Structure 1
Amino acid sequence: MICLDGQEQAEKLVIDNPHKIVDMVDDVEAIKSGNYPPNMPTAEEEIKQRTYDTAHEMYGNPLPLVIEARIEQELKSIISNGFSVIYLVAQRLVAKSNKDGYLVGSRGSVGSSLVALLIGVTEVNALPPHYRSASGDYVEFADPRKYESGYDLPEKFSPIDGTRLIGDGHNIPFATFLGFKGNKVPDIDLNFSGDYQPYAHNYMKSLFGENNVFRAGTIATVADKTAYGYAKAYERENELHLRGAEIDRLATGATGVKRTTGQHPAGILIVPDDMEIYDFTPIQFPADDLSATWKTTHFDFHSIHDNILKMDILGHDDPTMIRALQDMSGIDPHTIPMDDPGVMSLFSSPEVLGVTEEQIMSKTGTLGVPEFGTAFVRGMLEETHPKNYSELLQISGLSHGTDVWRGNADELIKDGVANIGTVIGTRDKIMTDLINYGVQPESAFQIMEKVRKGKGVSEEYQAEMREAGVPEWYIESCFKIKYMFPRAHAAAYVLMALRIAYYKVYFPMLYYAAYFSVRATNFDIVAMSRGLNSTKSKIQEIKQQGNDASAKDKDLLTVLEIANEALERGYDFSMVDLYKSDSEQWIIEGNTLIAPFNSVPGLGDNVAKRIVAARAEGEFLSKEDLAQRGGVSKTLMDFFNENGVLTGMPDENQLALF
């Protein structure tokens, strides 16, 4: 036992000396705080150079003042906040994909940035609607209160050389991407072709080195219902009789507990080359596979999202389908017009396809068109009859929002209070609408931010809106909204959709071949190959199940509806052909699509590829030979027999004696 001699000695030993020891110890961070982007020393200069080079090419030199002001505003925010690296990494990825022949679709609000367009990250032009010449020697801005998209501008010719002018611009404020002060960390999400996604991921290793890029980890936790099941199992196994409150207490304690780790399907984390991943997180191999090509962060990526750069490199069907259509048709998707009358008519009627509503059981021609093919969105089209790009953009925004359409915009349109062009369809439209009414830009931004998050409008802002002449129905609509889609995201989606719709109208056989090869995964090739009556019968069979239909049958219904449309347009489907079918792709032969092997129920990709490989080695001598060399099971052989695939083929190999 230590005896302390007086208060002074006690304070020295208990208070002063421990403080001195603490002061001698450096600050220790188990996990680094702060933001550590990759080291790209010339990023700021390169972003600026690329931006102005493209701007001068598109809009001439000197630039119109409104365009130069927008560029300077954005570059100031991007460079002063250290965001240049994020933009440049995205530029590198998109440029690589485009060079390799695959378009990239942008997601989220990145299309709100003019700089993102000019350096090649997005195809969405955020400027107000305008005309520009292909040579960059003429620019003319339109009234944004009359036209919300440059794609809707009427045809006009250059007063300089008489060439047709290009309509461009979707009037998207930069504030919706980086905030009103331009200091919000940008989140650039990109949709790569699903086929190209692994190459895009690996390209990150080429850019930054294998030891500096990692797949983002995820953590799965125990869900409410699972935790409740654990509590009930505990009660049962221990022969207890617990009250409901105790069961709830035990379940609450287990809810949210880490259950397993996983790998984000798209997220790639980049560590600066002068640091190590261990400065931020431990790492692991997925499924403890030491031979895996990617290592994964052990910490959930949300935990270190603000410390190191994460790029979301997603896989999507639209770029894959467009690449397939481009390869088959030879038509560059960039040359497809966004105001083609035939394509636009699809959204009101199937007449341009040469079929009636009754034949295809749809009042529009948008079956299989991304964003516009579901029953819900087709219902929206039937109520609104959109006629141009900006109205389609509204439909896209309304279909992705929460409490934006049902009980809100749809009622305003039905009652004749508003139309598809004037209702609130996207978050950005709130800001631009209010500015057009005369509300101050910062107030318009703050109102937009509150409304898009479902927080309504304060009394102070309501007064400002009324003073500017904003109608009451508009204010009431703001209060109903729970979530709103970004205009830039909708613009990018509609752009891809119209390209695919163009092929559907003018290159139907190529469209159906691409659709069934890329987007569809569930088939009934027996019904499809037997023609219209069989296909329609299967459609009715699934519809009669109503809500009791399984998810698989609902997915099949979509495929059969598009197959029915193709049949009504005069195209046929063929059962798999042992010597013509591909393993995965639908083959065009005249007006017939030949089914691939993997469309057969229960026949997977590996067996499909094995059949094709065995076929390349030589003709199948018998059913026995096919089963052995192709790895085809008895069940699949029975399917082939029942559907005439093996007609004329002997059961066993014939032994030649002479």
Structure 2
Amino acid sequence: MKTKIGFNVHSYFSKMNDVNFSSDIINEYRHRAQMIVDNISSIPSDTHLADSEKKYDEIKEKAYLKARELYGEDLHEFVKARLEKELGFISENDFSLCFWLPMKIADDSKSKGCPVMSSGATGSSLVAYLLGLTHVNPLGAHYRCNDCHYIKFVDDYNSGFDLPAKKCPNCGNDLIRDGHNVPYETLFGFCGDKEPSIELNLCEEYKDTLYETLFWLDILGNDAVQMLKILKEKTGVEPSENDLADNAKLLKSIKEVNTDFIPEMGTEYVKKQIERTQPQKFSDVVVLNGLLHSTGAYVYNAEKMFENNVCDFESVIAFRDDVLLYLDKRRKEYIERNGNDAPISHLDCYKISEIMRKGRAKRELSKYKNALCEIGVPDWYIDSAKEISYLFPKAHSVEYMIVSFKLLWYKLNYPNEYLKAYNEINKEI
């Protein structure tokens, strides 16, 4: 459901001229319609929205409260820097309502036992994660301890769910493995002044209770969140981050294509591609999902390169976000190797990711080709980019794969309850 305030009476009734109504009739209907619209309140009379400053204060307070719950009072520099940067974007550009209203909806939905998941680039935001709008923690892959708040970031992993199990060196407890390495630029833009589009997936029973917001807000019903609700009710448990990180059983089921009735994995086409590519870890499954949702990234592109061992899940072009991360990594390696500035900047890396996202690489990438080659980008990467018409946001695939892994966890551990829940959703009993 997309909702937006505003109904242009004059624009609407001007179309009546095309069906031979007399001007008197048109004017009369226009007058009556305008009277109705003038007396409609887009916000219920007993609703009072706080001013922007108060909304921002509420967002900041809740985000910091959750951050300290996860990472301790003395936040790690990476956590604090990312959080402060995003809060700065929200404050400086008056984006408070974009987060405040979804936060209220999500809180109310969860209070009624209805889980929430996100779509699009929502999971690119650490603030969105801390407010409970998404399952995606966009920080880099890291270990954290729930008890003493030990934290360690680990380079060269695309997902914390791929990290090996470890004990906390301080207190000996099992460390939580988290973080999916998603840059904020996809949601906020390079300068942080792009109005963030927050997309929520809600249970149908909750979505149907909602009513007009003051800006575009995507509210979608989703069977997956409905399944999560029913399964939690039937089993009394829900999988943790480490249940998803200790995923050998889940990955075995995926590689054996035992994914019937699992969202995003259950169609014959997806199962065929899983069988062909044999993903080995969570981040591989995320990449495959992104490839299959992008346009021109997989068919006659990545699939052929996989078969010829030109690239793998780590290096293939699957997401707009990973283009930015990959090119910026190459840029930094060049600077470290040569001791001088690279021929492209971080801004250039972002611009190239946008060019590729929009399918304009054939026309616009040539001006960067020499610089890309100089920093070590291989020819196959540039050739592949030219075949892509659209690139998916990474946060969307991470979100959907987290939920799919949760549902697969239920299916493998509670098969009877899973089948009953599936039949309830699909009205087969």
> Within 5 Å, which residues of 2 pair with 1:54-453?
54-135=66-147, 137-143=149-155, 146-199=156-209, 201-202=210-211, 213=212, 269-270=213-214, 309-334=215-240, 337-339=243-245, 340-349=247-256, 364-438=257-331, 440-453=345-358
Contact 1:57 1:136 in 2 (8 A): no
* SS of corresponding position for 1:137: coil
Deviations 1:160-206 (A, max 9, x none): 1011111111111111101001011111110001222112x15xxxx
Contact 2:161 2:242 in 1 (8 A): no
TM-superposed deviation, 1:91: 0.6
Point out which structure has higher relative CO (alpha carbons under 8 A, 6+ apart).
2
Rate the CA distance shift 1:39–1:195 in 2: closer, same or farther, 3 A.
closer
Aligned residue number for residue 411 of structure 2: 504
Say yes or no: does 1:495 pair with 2:406: no
Aligned residue number for residue 11 of structure 2: none
TM-superposed deviation, 1:401: 0.8
- The alignment yields a C-alpha RMSD, in angstroms, of 1.8
CA distance in 1, matches of 2:288, 2:365: 28
Contact 2:148 2:171 in 1 (8 A): no
Contact 1:369 1:500 in 2 (8 A): yes
Deviations 1:471-505 (A, max 9, x none): 11111111110011110000110011011111211
How many correspondences in the alignment?
A: 367
CA distance in 2, matches of 1:310, 1:452: 22
CA distance in 1, matches of 2:114, 2:312: 37
TM-score, scaled to structure 1: 0.54
CA distance in 2, matches of 1:403, 1:453: 11
Say yes or no: does 1:48 pair with 2:60: yes
CA distance in 1, matches of 2:241, 2:383: 42
Rate the CA distance shift 1:333–1:137 in 2: closer, same or farther, 3 A.
closer
CA distance in 1, matches of 2:147, 2:59: 23
* SS of corresponding position for 1:338: helix
- 2:303 maps to a residue whose letter is D
Out of 408, 418, 422, the residue aligned to residue 515 of structure 1 is 422
Out of 358, 374, 385, the residue aligned to residue 467 of structure 1 is 374
Rate the CA distance shift 1:40–1:136 in 2: closer, same or farther, 3 A.
farther
TM-superposed deviation, 1:39: 4.4
* SS of corresponding position for 1:87: helix
CA distance in 2, matches of 1:335, 1:131: 11
TM-superposed deviation, 1:71: 1.2
- 1:66 maps to a residue whose letter is F
* SS of corresponding position for 2:353: helix
CA distance in 1, matches of 2:367, 2:148: 45
Contact 2:190 2:347 in 1 (8 A): yes
TM-score, scaled to structure 2: 0.82
CA distance in 1, matches of 2:232, 2:85: 37
TM-superposed deviation, 1:53: 1.5
CA distance in 1, matches of 2:275, 2:390: 24
- 1:140 maps to a residue whose letter is K
* SS of corresponding position for 2:205: coil
Contact 2:102 2:133 in 1 (8 A): yes
- 1:48 maps to a residue whose letter is K
Aligned residue number for residue 483 of structure 1: 390
Contact 1:398 1:404 in 2 (8 A): yes
Contact 1:151 1:167 in 2 (8 A): yes
Contact 2:129 2:137 in 1 (8 A): yes
Deviations 1:195-243 (A, max 9, x none): 22112x15xxxxxxxxxx3xxxxxxxxxxxxxxxxxxxxxxxxxxxxxx
- 1:91 maps to a residue whose letter is M
Deviations 1:522-553 (A, max 9, x none): xxxxxxxxxxxxxxxxxxxxxxxxxxxxxxxx
Deviations 1:366-389 (A, max 9, x none): 111110111111111011111211
- Further displaced range: 156-165 or 55-64: 55-64
**Which is greater in Rg?**
1
TM-superposed deviation, 1:460: 2.7
Contact 2:160 2:179 in 1 (8 A): yes
CA distance in 2, matches of 1:90, 1:383: 39
- 2:50 maps to a residue whose letter is M
CA distance in 2, matches of 1:392, 1:79: 36
TM-superposed deviation, 1:428: 0.8
TM-superposed deviation, 1:345: 0.7
CA distance in 2, matches of 1:55, 1:139: 13
CA distance in 2, matches of 1:72, 1:93: 24
- 2:417 maps to a residue whose letter is L
- 2:311 maps to a residue whose letter is A
CA distance in 2, matches of 1:132, 1:190: 27
